[in-house]
Amino acid sequence: MKAQIKVDGKIISELSEKIPTYLIAINELLKNAYDAGAKVVTIKLNTREKTLQIIDNGSGMNKKDIDTLFIISKSNKMYGRKNEYGRIIQGSKGLGFLSVFKFGKLVEWRTNRNKGISFTVDFDQLISMDDISHFPIDLIEDNSIPKGTEIIIKMNTYSVRSLNEYFSLEKNYRKIINSFDDTNFIINLEINNKSCSKNNKIPLLDNEKNQQLFYVTYNSKKQEITFMHNNHMIFTEPYSFIYDQFSLDIELLIFQLKSHGKEKIDKLFFNPNDDLTPLVYFNNNLFYNYTIFDPSVMRSIKTSQVLNQMIGFIRIISKNKKIDFNSDRSQFLQNELTDSIKDFLSNINKKIQEIGSGMKEYLVKFDFLTKNEISSDYSVSHDPKEYQELIKDDFVFKKKVKIAVYDNKVTYSLFGKTATVLINDNTLPSNVENDDQKKNLQPVKFNLYCKDEQEIYIPSEQIDLKDYIDSVYNSKGELIDKKDILIIVNDKKNNNGILPSVKNSCEKNIEYQYFDLETDVAIKKIKLIFKERNVVKMKQRTKSLLITLPVKENYTVNYSDVLNRLIEQINNLPIDKNLEIISCSLRAIFEISVTAIYKSVKYNNTIQRKTNLEDGVVDIIEYVTRNQSNITQIDNASIIGYKNLKNILDGDEFGKIIKKAHLGAHHASTFITEPEIKYIAKYASLFIVITNEMLNNKDVQ
């Protein structure tokens, strides 16, 4: 006689209830897409149809993967190790599929690894089983399913309303689309066809620039806490790191906010109580824990040292097997290693606030002088060092203050700020240098790479304004570090020298300032003029022209002036007498177009730059065809027809075209025919349309 172990379906209900929030449930599903190597995952909520879709372009699942999916608490994944995609593996407990039932009871999976498969699970049927090991799941082959995985969840009214309300809060949806610290993993969120997506890089230093107190960094390899203020290094403190089971990187921005100043901070950095908080990323995934690095940690110790107006990133990496979490991954399971991580973060948090609070009052008030006016007989040596005694003895940055003496004032400069003491008559020599030395002084010399006015096409790339500086020499002929140059954009100080992408026509007045201790402030001005490209209206296909776009009348191509001129020149050449020249020119069309996509802010996180043109073109075609709506948008612009267009968008065929157009010694044909030229031109014309739509059609993702 034998006994039999059965697993009642109610265990599924109990396990799924351990996933406490929508945020945690969605994060579990995103981890599956991340581990599958997806570059893009899209979350779609349709409140009218009451559906939630999670779509990724990862590796998809085969029969073996699906079998593993439904084995509770079993996973072939090794958390913390790197997989074949070079990513740190996120899943390990084998409970990820239960997250779908947080949103609804009827769930369909559509997936394709080597072939398309769809299957559906009804939660009510599953939990009603006396023994879920006998629950039947029908797998249906469907070759129309694209590569990757799509999960479609049918939701009830309550779940739809609750999830829609959850997404309506910026602090919630911002965390979802930024739940991975990986620029090669893009998360899109669409609510009733309105979308938002992750930025290339979260602009930490763009938050409330005028109210920033400290920019603080720490790295476990360098073992040094650094404090910056107003883009200047002000203090460093060695801080030992003795652990080899994890590594750590800290990047913080600490504010001295005025009333209502918090309202302009990125809502990503708000905790559930709407207090500012740094975000903790563990192995590149957002760790929904707001106590492990608590900005208010000093309140119970010494309130005068509290610096709780803090945002930023705590990045922890570990592949140690001791790392484990509770069911919702909001807390560590306690052991020696996790205690070490928590203790270290708590201690360095306290240390940062202790150091920062000691410097805070001096930087906020910037009140370090004993007098604001002196008489001309105050000093007889006229040496700037003599004026150091006007600085308060307890001023912690006393040695860092630069002093310059002029006709009627003494100027004290520190961290980009200045304070002045007036001299009440003109008996003091005009400069601390003697007359002979003064004669040797030269005007400050700015050498810039650009002209006084420069035209830039929109949309522009992000511009580092420091890159326009070739060199700057002070009045003594000494080369100046670029970091000592103050940059003003349209009369506002630019702390990091970065000008974000400009999308509309405008002018930016850029002013470079250098404070010279001998000759006062030197200024160099330039003007950046942002303008639209000259556009060309392309005609419909005609027999007489080689390059004619398969588009409607007066279609506009505006992503490259060079391209428009090249098309005109190709069309003016007799084909039969210029086969080789035209072949190379057609290849250049592909090169210009691919480069335009690589330089676009829109795709700099989703399309990886390839050194080989053939690989680049194939990659772009495959990128477009992953999303059916992209094909539809291109079809709307063309006159080819959807079915024909879908057949033509073949990455392998485009790759062959590039090879054929290459007349180099190691790659190409030694001879090319007129029909081949026309065939290449047909694909080049279509690629122009594809590129133009990708760059200019907001509905092409």
Give pLDDT, residue 179. 92
Give pLDDT, residue 445. 86
Residue type, 574: P
SS3 content of the chain, % helix, strand, coil (to 5): 35, 25, 40
Give pLDDT, residue 221. 93
Give pLDDT, residue 555. 77
Provide the phi-psi class of 477: left if phi over 0, else alpha when psi is between -120 and 50, else beta.
left
Give pLDDT, residue 540. 42
403-422 burial: b if 16+ Cβ within 10 Å, else e:
bbbbeeebbbbbbeeebebe
Give pLDDT, residue 645. 83
Mean pLDDT by 10 residues, the chain (701 residues): 51 64 85 92 94 95 83 62 86 69 91 94 82 79 93 92 90 91 91 73 81 94 93 91 95 89 89 93 92 90 85 94 78 91 95 92 85 70 75 87 80 86 61 50 81 79 85 84 88 87 88 81 87 54 70 78 85 85 89 87 79 88 86 84 82 86 54 85 90 85 77
Select from 3.40.50.12780, 3.30.70.1050, 3.30.230.10, 3.40.50.2000 the CATH code of 204-365: 3.30.230.10
Q: For the chain, which residues make up each domain, given as ranges?
A: 10-197, 204-365, 373-439, 445-531, 537-696
H runs (alpha helix) in 266-392: 336-365
Contact 417, 426 (CB under 8 A): no
Query: What's the DSSP call for residue 546?
Result: S
Contact 317, 349 (CB under 8 A): no
Contact 129, 109 (CB under 8 A): no
Q: Could you give the dihedral angle defined by the CA atoms of residues 142, 147, 149 and 152, in that order, rounded to the nearest 10 degrees?
A: -50
Give pLDDT, residue 452. 83
* Alpha-carbon radius of gyration of the chain: 32
Tokens of 621: 């075609």
How far is CA 98 from each of CA 19, 41, 70, 102, 353, rounded to the nearest angstrom? Answer: 8, 19, 9, 8, 41
Give pLDDT, residue 110. 95
What kind and span of H or E run contains 674? Answer: helix 674-696
Give pLDDT, residue 448. 84
| Predicted TM-score of the model (pTM) | 0.60
Give pLDDT, residue 52. 96
**Assigned CATH topology for domain 445-531:** Immunoglobulin-like (2.60.40)
As separate numbers, helices (DSSP H) first and strands (DSSP E) second, the chain gives 15, 30
Contact 30, 189 (CB under 8 A): no
Q: How far apart are CA 68 and CA 35, in angstroms?
A: 15
Measured on CA atoms in the order 457, 463, 465, 471, is the torsion positive or negative? negative
User: Which residue shows structure tokens 């398309």?
Assistant: 116
Give pLDDT, residue 350. 94
What kind and span of H or E run contains 585? Answer: helix 579-599
Q: How far apart are CA 348 and CA 363, in angstroms?
A: 22
Give pLDDT, residue 383. 66
Give pLDDT, residue 433. 44
The arrangement of secondary structure in 10-197, i.e. its CATH architecture, is 2-Layer Sandwich (3.30)
